[in-house]
Amino acid sequence: MSYAIAILGLAFLILIHEAGHFFASLAVGMRPRKFYIGFPPALLKTKRNGIEYGIGAIPLGGYVRIPGMHRPAAKDVDLVFSRALHAAPELVGPAERLKRALAAEDYETAKTRLAEFHERAEEAGVQSVDKQVQDLEDALSPQAYWRAPTWKRVAAIAAGPATNLVFAVVLFVVVFMVAGGKATSTVALVLPKSQAHAAGLRPGDQVVGIDGQSVTPGQISDHISASLGRPVKLTVVRHGSLITLHAERPRKESDGRYRLGFALAGETLSFGPAVWESVKTTGIVSRETVSALGGLFHSKERRQLSGGVGITNGLKDSVHYGWVSYLSVLAFISLSLALFNLLPLLPLDGGHIAFSLLEGIRGRAIAREIYERVSAVGITLVLLLFIVGLSNDIGRLGGG
């Protein structure tokens, strides 16, 4: 059940990210062609005002398809219609005329040539080109992404990370208002079957010492983690009396820290202070995340990187500590997702934003070949980050 809740949380973060793109592109006049909850194959779908809405069989987030993310090029014809040209050689002539129009950037003529190609394909009994023709029509339409002014393109793409950022701030506000203000030494929750439960720790106990040393609320977690799995002696105040509890072998969690299985209460904040603390927390986490990404060439920083397995495990672990802990971790992940997507690498959102701004400054489009080369580099770097994160996850799962 914990894994299911964790996966649903991650799927929701992806869904609201895509929803940000969807509603922003609608607002600026780029009519998306599809918006799905989950991924295909479609379980349910309907079409309204030219937009296909659906629910996919794979319940992991969602996706939105904005028409014409790239300027159509002559080589696209050979790429997308290769099977049709092989099956019906009589289509070579219409295809060549379409290619010439695209090469000359005569897009109105290209629309006519595309319609001619489609008609000839239907006459030849080639039905497999319908989707490719529709995609190329979308790329030539007035609503195509590449045809929009710079500010519209930036708005549509930036809306995805912005939605995750705003969602993180909202979650932090909720946490600070409910239980997440300044930490206290009072135990709010003890997990069943945990080391803390076996030691006799109870909700309401005040932790004042660890291994004979006095601790402040902010030091409790660090002192327990510093045990590296060795038995821990807790000194607590219960009903005005000092009690010593012996906890056996703290458990190593998916993030590499050692815990006994209890959570501390926090001081609640009113709305105004909660908003301020949320903004400050967002700023601090953003700065540290950017710093960590900049230090990935150092082995110490690389070891901190987590992949999908580690993120899911971390969110799963937070479920045991209650919904406040779960929302806190979800907020951190939402913020990290926003920052990661803003990296200036294609095919990430930040890469599309950077290229749109560069084209706006230059006053003309960047060659398709440059897009493809930069995308190849970006995909390689993203895959490298994924492999490093997955390697770290496997190491943590194995205790390494």
**Could you give the CA distance from residue 50 to residue 108 in angstroms, rounded to a whole number?**
21
Q: Kindly state the average pLDDT of the residues 80-104.
A: 91
Secondary structure letter of residue 367 according to DSSP: P
Mean of the per-residue pLDDT values of the chain: 85
Contact 49, 95 (CB under 8 A): no
Q: Which pLDDT tens digit goes with each residue over 44-71?
A: 999 998 899 998 887 767 889 999 888 8
Domain ranges of the chain: 74-140, 183-266, 271-397
Q: Which residues pair with 237 in a beta bridge?
A: 206, 242
pLDDT the model gives residue 397: 46
CATH dotted code for 183-266? 2.30.42.10
pLDDT the model gives residue 398: 45
Banded pLDDT at 114 (limits 50, 70, 90): very high
In this predicted structure, the answer to whether residue 85 has a pLDDT above a threshold of 60 is yes
Could you tell me the pTM of the whole model?
A: 0.78
Q: Which pLDDT tens digit goes with each residue over 285-327?
A: 888 777 766 655 555 555 555 555 556 666 767 777 777 778 8
pLDDT the model gives residue 349: 93
Secondary structure letter of residue 217 according to DSSP: G
Three-class HEC string of 3-54 = HHHHHHHHHHHHHHHHHHHHHHHHHCCCCCCEEEEEEEEEEEEEEECCEEEE
pLDDT the model gives residue 364: 84
Contact 332, 360 (CB under 8 A): no
